Amino acid sequence: MGFNDIYDQKLINEDYQPEVKAYYFRSWNNYLMDFHYHDRVEIMYVIKGSCQIHIENYDTEKINFRKGDFILINAMVPHKLIVNGDSDCTMMNIEFVFVKKSNFLPSFREFVNNSKELEELIAAKEPFFILKDYEDVYQLLKSLVVELSSPSAEQSISASLLMYEILLRTSGAVMKRKNESPTENYVNKTKLFINLNYDKKITLKDISAYSNINEDYLNRIFKRSTGASVIEYLTGIRIQKAKMLLCNTNIPIIDISDIVGISSRQYFNQVFKKATGLSPKKFRKSFEVELFGEAQKN
């Protein structure tokens, strides 16, 4: 295999650092890619829609991917993307290699030696890993692209730190998937779907369909695991996002209710007050008073 193989022994014995060589956002519809490979490690992340990825010589049929799914593919592993005509797919891709250490940041070897999860990922020597984004990898990928779009010495350091964080989070997702029980898998998939779609009009039926499980059974195992029903968890996420918007923006309250997926202003006021003890208007006002008071003290 080429040196850019993530399992190359040089990465464990010598001091190298990851370096991004390519990145892009792209949308496809009715698209069939030929089998191909890269001399770089690749991360493919589904932002929107669905697709299939086929790994050559892999003993499973084409792998279905949906929003929030991603795959890490080692260098020189043949693969192709398939997007059916009835589905769009928007993806973010990054491709990276390993270069000789050139700054004060730790080397990849040092990170592996200090991270049990990264050490286990390297020891697995799998050609690819199929993952769910339980670790907020997407936010890190977006931040990485921002840093790479405005190159400078400082931003190069920031990009390297983000790349390390992405690898650590990816190894965490690998270990979580490896060790989780079937019940934990259903619960984690449910949380992921809610966090990615809380701003839409989603129902328990939609959520259970994503997790491919009976609604009543999902509710039971979810409540046993989290202490809240699926809809209570969804409402909690919406209230959490609403509080953040009320505190940090001037967006009108009626728009905030829409942004967090609650179309009825009356219902939004009701659930918000139940959760916080204050109406959205009073909550925003109390936060402004608190900030003003802090400013006066300073």
Mean pLDDT by 10 residues, the chain (298 residues): 75 91 90 90 92 80 84 92 86 93 89 89 87 83 87 77 91 80 85 87 90 90 92 94 90 92 92 93 78 46
Contact 191, 133 (CB under 8 A): no
User: Which CA distances in Å does 188 have to 133, 167, 193, 226, 245?
Assistant: 10, 20, 9, 11, 26
**pLDDT at res. 2:** 40
State which of 179, 208, 230 marks the end of a domain. Answer: 179
Domain annotation covers residue 265: yes
User: Pseudo-torsion of CA 134, 89, 96, 108, nearest 10°?
Assistant: 10
Mark whether 157 and 28 lie in a shared domain: yes
Cα angle vertex 139, ends 213, 35, to 5°?
A: 70
Mark whether 49 and 160 lie in a shared domain: yes
| Number of domains composing the chain | 2
Distance CA 132, CA 3 (A): 28
Domain annotation covers residue 63: yes
Residue 14 burial (CB < 10 Å; 0-12/13-18/19+)?
A: middle
Distance CA 89, CA 50 (A): 5
* Helix/strand/coil for 48: strand
Domain annotation covers residue 95: yes
Q: Which domain holds residue 224?
A: 183-297
Gyration radius of the chain over CA positions: 22
Domain annotation covers residue 102: yes
Is the full-model pTM beyond 0.85?
no
CATH of the domain at 239: 1.10.10.60
Mark whether 50 and 126 lie in a shared domain: yes
* Residue where the block lists tokens 């191909």: 36
